[in-house]
Amino acid sequence: MNNKKYYLNLVIGLAFMFLFRYVPAPAPMTALGMQVVGIFIGTIYLIATTHPAFPAFIAITLLITTPLFNFKEALANSFGHWVPTFVLSILLLSYALVKCGVAKRITIWFMTRKAAQKSPWAFMALFFGSIFVLGFFVDVFALMAFYLAAIDLICTELGYEKKSRFATALVLGVAFLIVTMGASTGFQPHVAIVLGLYSNITGNTIGMFEYTAWSFIPLVLIFITYLLMAKFIIKPDFSKFKNFDPTTLSSQVGDITKQEIYTGIIYLLVVVGWFLPGLAKMLGIESAIIKTIGSYSLVWPAFVGIILLSIIRVEGKPLMDLKVAAKEGVPWHIVFLVIGNMILARALTSPETGFTDWFTQVLGPLTNGASTFTLFLFGAVFTAILTNLGSNSVAGIVAFQLVALLIKDPQVLMLVALPVAFSTRLATMLPSSFVGIGMTYGNEWVDSKKILPYGFIFVVSAIAILMLVGYPLANIIFG
């Protein structure tokens, strides 16, 4: 972005923040509400057009000048909120899992099975299958660079040309599936944001295990859907594939190391800490120890994992050097974006602003009397549109906050929170939709003209699966 465009966008964003308060407030919104709406719009605009991080600091600074927050309260609702801390801990744990080599070993294990040598489609299914497995545990940022590098190796060795149908099928599969697999568990950052907002609004929680149990089958079907897309729409050319021997990749990993073993065990212990309370609840198991673990919040198991990774050493080095991990493994703009938007969400719905009353008065008639199925569909489609037009972190926060204003029943809101959380990761169409898709548009192996139409087909298919399968499952698990 050139300086002229940058400063123009900066002026426009700041104008919303400072001048919107002077726009007459429509009843029942208050003048304070207009001021907060202006800060909200300005922040979202600046995030979309200038930078994903620093607008959050502007928002916090301006909100402190309003009657809503003093300095201590502003920090408690932004930096002190548990959701940004949880997102940070997830990013650190994901980095450790990739850095030690576990992710690479799992990928190559899938690619070197005997089944992968039977046909090109078997290889492709197993290659993408490794993404399906790792996507449940590793954040997208840690996976994208690794898999794009793997595609470069495969296509170069086979002699495929750049932008060939084979390369395009691999790149789009990696991009679409990695991004979407971020909807797999409640300990993926963008899902955690929505589930955290639900907890703040209702005082209830959606358990990690319950959410993962709900998302699993739709994700399996989405995985199969992409394979069908590749076969019948992209139609990759496999003429050169007969020259590829996947078993030659085994030499890249060698024997399993102590670092991999210890890191993998620690990560699994953290996952058990996240899943155990929800699993026990679903099975009707009463245990004081499990209840105690659940009462410590989702951040506690993650912190235990980070501590163990930091203090356990192999050959004189920690499993995870926290200083290095914080520098190399954390996309801090995501953390700061979440920090700013948590306090904005709280400010926007404060009774003093009147925004909630105004919003429900204007849009309430559209949802009053609507069936749960309709609201479920609305949450999925509304979020999918927002996440493809802009940041999916912002999309989740904005979409759920607005949906929550229209739905007063906590049980119905719980059901709608599921497609909203899931659809934040249906960001597969535009460079602005998600960092991973932006990387895909810049990848030399893919025909970038194919990303938007194929991404649209993928999103529509995913929403159809959510409605046909995800909705009945939601009623079974959460009804």
pLDDT in tens, 413-470: 999 999 999 999 999 998 767 767 877 888 889 988 899 999 999 999 999 999 999 9
- pLDDT at 323 exceeding the cut of 70: yes
Output the pTM of the full model: 0.77
According to the model, what pLDDT value does residue 419 have?
A: 95
According to the model, what pLDDT value does residue 103 have?
A: 79
Maximum C-alpha span of the chain: 70
**How many CA atoms lie less than 13 Å away from 294 in the CB half-sphere?**
19
Lowest mean pLDDT among 173-187, 233-247, 306-320: 233-247
Contact, 134 vs 128, CB < 8 A? no
According to the model, what pLDDT value does residue 479 have?
A: 73
Average pLDDT over every residue of 73-85: 85
According to the model, what pLDDT value does residue 136 have?
A: 79
Question: For the chain, what is the mean pLDDT?
Answer: 86
Q: Two tokens at 359? A: 């919003």
- pLDDT at 186 exceeding the cut of 90: no
Average pLDDT over every residue of 381-400: 79
Cα–Cα distance, 457 to 429 (Å, whole number)? 9
According to the model, what pLDDT value does residue 369 have?
A: 78
According to the model, what pLDDT value does residue 196 have?
A: 79
According to the model, what pLDDT value does residue 223 have?
A: 95
According to the model, what pLDDT value does residue 396 have?
A: 75
CA 205-207-209 angle, to 5 degrees, is: 175
According to the model, what pLDDT value does residue 435 have?
A: 67
- Map residue 376 onto helix, strand or coil: helix
pLDDT grade, residue 112 (50/70/90)? confident
Average pLDDT over every residue of 6-34: 94
381-413 CB burial, b ≥16 within 10 A, e <16: bbbbebbbebbbbbbbbbbbbbbbbbbeeeeeb
Lowest mean pLDDT among 163-167, 273-277, 302-306: 273-277
According to the model, what pLDDT value does residue 42 have?
A: 92
